[in-house]
Structure 1
Amino acid sequence: MAMKMFVFDPPRLPEAREARLVNPIHAIRALTWRQQALFWSGWFAWITDSYDFFCVSLTILRLQAQFGRSTHALTTAITLTLLFRPAGAFIFGLLGDRYGRRWPLTSVLIIIAALQIGTGFVKTFSSFLAVRSLFGIAMGGVWGLASAASLESMPVESRGVYSGLMQVGCPGGYLVASVVNLFLVPETPTSWRSIFWVGAGLSTLAAIIRACLPESAVFERSQELSRRRGLTASQETKAFIASFRSMIRNYWGLWAYGVILMTGLNFLPHSSQDLYTTFMQNSKGFSADLANKANIVGEAGAVTGAAIGGYISQFLGRRITLILACVWCCAFIPLWIMPSSWGALSAGAFFFQMGVNIAWGAVAVYLNELVPPAFRGLYPGTVYQLGNAASSAASQIEATAGLTIRKQVNGVDQPDYGTVQAIMAAASCGLILICVAFGPEKHSAHFEDAQTAVEERTVAESQDGSEQQNQDIEKEKQEYAHIEYSV
């Protein structure tokens, strides 16, 4: 069963009944207030997560002055954050699939806020690295829970649009961080520390919003069914563990595919963003102010691309959208790194990052449709963060390559980060293209038919029970699904 996905299956357009061109306004208006609230709370949580991650890459030169370390040494903080994120995704993903989305996500946002405050008070480089490692664990738990709660209760025809909007949170967080770095950091006596303190406020606000909203209706249904059947917490946990073991046994191949695909997809933005500000300053000779402004232009393109990518994936299919995005990126590599003028480079950044995020706009819905149904909190977040970990050395690889690939900038020998970034981006696109050529697709999978892990195991164990008992369980499940999906 797991090996089938490695048989060549050319990407194709979805069936006509699944690929209708939906007016995005209609897709947005199709949601109930509860579905809208859950989506936007998850979206805001994802913005805060992205904001904090990019704080380091945006302030590398200031951190150099603070700690007296090289760019290569400081990129260790980025690497450590990415390496520890899978642990957080696994831990909080399991908690989310066992106990629901609400409190695990609220808790992890509070932890992030506390660590952001702490970052502003570190005095040594080793302390900074330690805090960033803890950040990695906490930050790893955000995306999987946020995307699951946001998309699992959504009508099929609205998923593409909202998947794109979900991904807007990543470049959106980068954009907010760039603005704070441009206007606030230079004007405050605390310098780079202020960008983290602002992030603490954003994370706290995201936690408050999520805590005030109800649990995902999928888990309200599961809890109600468990209550009607008289299951104890211990029985529910045993059922969950049994379902988890069965999932690993049956879907290991899907996990392998997800990790490889997400490695390529994570290498693409990290290789083009983590050292982009440094590239503009060192390799192109622009000021920190102009480098930050170019970043903002690039992230505006990323926001645009994410919204487009999710929308077109609804009628082109998820894999075809990924292929088109990779071709787009490769076409704009020359404009992105070769010009000398700020205007041309900014235009290249806009269109290149648009292509990157056309791909990412389809990722949330693609992974949530592929997922083993009972583990929608665990699978997307964990394979995403494992891909992050695999690509964690992207900035260090580029910094190391810059030690030997050099160029003269205003008479000064500097790393040629433009060439290095171009090579990394092209290689990432190649890996993505190979993956999607062999990968599966479950376009428009009906989430309302899915069961939680506890439901899945309990229903399986009830197969030896009376026919009437099984009918009662299915009737209760459909009753609660109807409430959630009626729009």
Structure 2
Amino acid sequence: MAPRFLTSLVPRREQREEGRPLLQVLRSLTWVQWGHFWSGWLAWTCDAVDFFSVSLSVTNLQNQFHKDTNHITTAITLTLLLRSAGAIIFGILSDRYGRKWPLVVNLLLVAVLELGSGFVQTFQQFLAVRSIFGIAMGGIWGLAASTGLENLPVEARGLASGVLQQGYAVGYLIAAVVNLFLVPEVSVGWRALFWTSAGMSLFAAVIRMLLPESEIFLRAKAARAHTGHSTKSKTRIFLHETKEMLKKHWLLCIYAVLLMTGFNFLSHGSQDLFPTYMQKSKGFSPHDATVATIIGNCGAIAGGGIAGWVSQYIGRRLTIVIFVCIIGAFIPLWILPSTFGALSAGAFFIQFGVQGAWGVIPIQLAEMSPPAFRATFPGVAYQVGNMVSSASAQIEATGGNHLKTHIAGNPDPVPDYATVQGILIGVVSAFVLVVTIIGPENHGSHFEKHKTAIEEGGGRDEIAEDDDDAERRSESRPDSIRVEDEKRSTDEKQPV
């Protein structure tokens, strides 16, 4: 008999057939639900434009600062290293205070730092700004995913996950188009790309500012108002429930980091140095390299949406397994040809597989997360994985410096990024397959019914109770919190 982690790859029949038809669900969504989803998508799209501004500008930055590829990719590494700090800071703020204002502040900080990236004059200034930018950037994904998914019906979350995640590919696509048509036409050159991304982040902040708070936090706020807890009391509850969550889910935290380490190596290893690979190893012009990047991101957008939708019916893990196998099948087409058409086709199908597998990740992490910590847990796991994989571009750059090849019409040896990328992505794909297969899956989880992190029992994954149960909840609160609330209540009843 097959082991359970294999037989459980396909969800039970009642899980697959649960709920309403997708089109009926989509027609039932309110404008607020649509607004929450698209504001999360837009925030993640802006995040990608911001990040890939460096990847697309490597050659221009080399000319500006007189540095080689390995030095320029240090900026990418520093950004990825510090994103985990931002995930912790903004994830905690979101789970403690709500989804709206932490995301607004986060986007405003990103806009300011991206604007500053376009004004630097030295390489040291550029590294400093991009390092601080990594902290601000680290908060976006967890807040965007929780905002976009938790307000939707469970039947729509698979498709929504794929579309939301491909805000990343759309952002890369937008950045590539700006780099292709705007940057060569303006006197400021590469700086225009960073300033454009700053304006987009500012726009996303304004959009989120106009929308209401997430319904789950409005419910929790109403519940707290009913019990009359003070801000100090809420903070104590939050810290207590955080400790409870870590005691219960520490092994899940380790697993999530391993999973996201593999996924981040997949994405950054196949994308960050791709324009440089097309120019240095294959001899194409910056224009052609950008066009190939655009074609690859079209594959990413298609893969993410399809995979997210399919995962609603065949399960999250099985969908990831299928799309990772697609990656392995198309690695040869991605690295062996020398013609533009074949390499572009390889980029399309590699990104179809990479971002198809990624399209399942927002909902997979949201469903496996401790429900009360849906911003902190996925965001931190994602960004710690980013931190571990932060050197992927430098690994490829260093490997290319030591492994040389020749291209037609050029007698000098050039970096063999094709071989380096093929080996890296092949090994990482195998790792992701194993980690995905042995991992958990909570397909169709109704995490919106659980308590938030500012309610007692949130850290133990308890279901939210009705207001009629407030008195019974009061008896189970930690002694220190209950005594303080009783004292405050008595004080309020004293005559003035």
Fold match by TM threshold 0.5: yes
Counterpart of 1:317 in structure 2 is 315
Whether the 8 Å CA contact 2:243–2:459 is kept in 1: the answer is no
Q: How many residues align?
A: 464
Whether the 8 Å CA contact 1:24–1:161 is kept in 2: the answer is no
Counterpart of 1:196, as a letter, is F
Structure 2 Cα separation of the partners of residues 26 and 300 of structure 1: 28
Counterpart of 2:66 in structure 1 is 68
Query: How far has the Cα of 1:148 moved from its partner?
Result: 0.5
Matched, 1:417 2:417: yes
Whether the 8 Å CA contact 1:9–1:440 is kept in 2: the answer is no
Larger Rg: 2
Query: How far has the Cα of 1:12 moved from its partner?
Result: 2.1
- Of the structure 1 ranges 19-28 and 255-264, higher mean CA displacement relative to structure 2 is found in 19-28
SS in 2 for 1:411: strand
Query: How far has the Cα of 1:116 moved from its partner?
Result: 1.1
Query: How far has the Cα of 1:8 moved from its partner?
Result: 4.9
Counterpart of 2:165 in structure 1 is 167
Counterpart of 2:362, as a letter, is A
TM normalised by structure 2 equals 0.91
Counterpart of 1:100 in structure 2 is 98
Q: Please, which of 336, 341, 346 is the counterpart of residue 348 of structure 1? A: 346
Counterpart of 1:435, as a letter, is V
Query: How far has the Cα of 1:155 moved from its partner?
Result: 0.9
Structure 2 Cα separation of the partners of residues 444 and 419 of structure 1: 40
Whether the 8 Å CA contact 1:100–1:219 is kept in 2: the answer is yes
Whether the 8 Å CA contact 2:77–2:390 is kept in 1: the answer is yes
Whether the 8 Å CA contact 1:10–1:438 is kept in 2: the answer is no
The structure, 1 or 2, with the larger RCO (C-alpha pairs under 8 Å, 6+ apart) is 1
Counterpart of 2:492 in structure 1 is none
Query: How far has the Cα of 1:411 moved from its partner?
Result: 2.0
Structure 2 gaps, min length 5: 475-496
Equivalent residues in 2 for 1:4-83, closer than 5 Å = 8=5, 10-20=7-17, 24-83=22-81
Counterpart of 1:451 in structure 2 is 451
Deviations 1:447-472 (A, max 9, x none): 23211012234899x9xxxx964478
Q: Please, which of 242, 246, 249 is the counterpart of residue 248 of structure 1? A: 246
Counterpart of 2:485 in structure 1 is none
Counterpart of 1:193 in structure 2 is 191
Counterpart of 2:494 in structure 1 is none
SS in 2 for 1:414: strand
Whether the 8 Å CA contact 1:93–1:141 is kept in 2: the answer is yes
Deviations 1:114-153 (A, max 9, x none): 1111111101101100000111000000110111111112
Deviations 1:293-343 (A, max 9, x none): 000000000000010110011111110011101110000011111111101
Structure 1 Cα separation of the partners of residues 319 and 249 of structure 2: 25
Counterpart of 1:479 in structure 2 is none
Q: Please, which of 331, 336, 339 is the counterpart of residue 337 of structure 2? A: 339
Query: How far has the Cα of 1:18 moved from its partner?
Result: 2.0
Structure 1 Cα separation of the partners of residues 468 and 154 of structure 2: 31
C-alpha distance 40-458 of structure 1, shift in aligned 2 (>3 A): closer
Whether the 8 Å CA contact 1:318–1:441 is kept in 2: the answer is yes
Counterpart of 1:145 in structure 2 is 143
Matched, 1:436 2:433: no
Whether the 8 Å CA contact 2:242–2:459 is kept in 1: the answer is no
Query: How far has the Cα of 1:70 moved from its partner?
Result: 0.5
Query: How far has the Cα of 1:93 moved from its partner?
Result: 0.2
Query: How far has the Cα of 1:26 moved from its partner?
Result: 3.6
C-alpha distance 408-23 of structure 1, shift in aligned 2 (>3 A): farther
Provide the identity percentage. Answer: 49
Structure 1 Cα separation of the partners of residues 352 and 326 of structure 2: 9
Query: How far has the Cα of 1:9 moved from its partner?
Result: 5.6
Structure 1 Cα separation of the partners of residues 220 and 206 of structure 2: 25
Deviations 1:154-207 (A, max 9, x none): 111101010011011000000000000000001110001000000111000000
Deviations 1:5-53 (A, max 9, x none): x995654211222213976544432322211110000100000001110
Structure 1 Cα separation of the partners of residues 6 and 338 of structure 2: 43
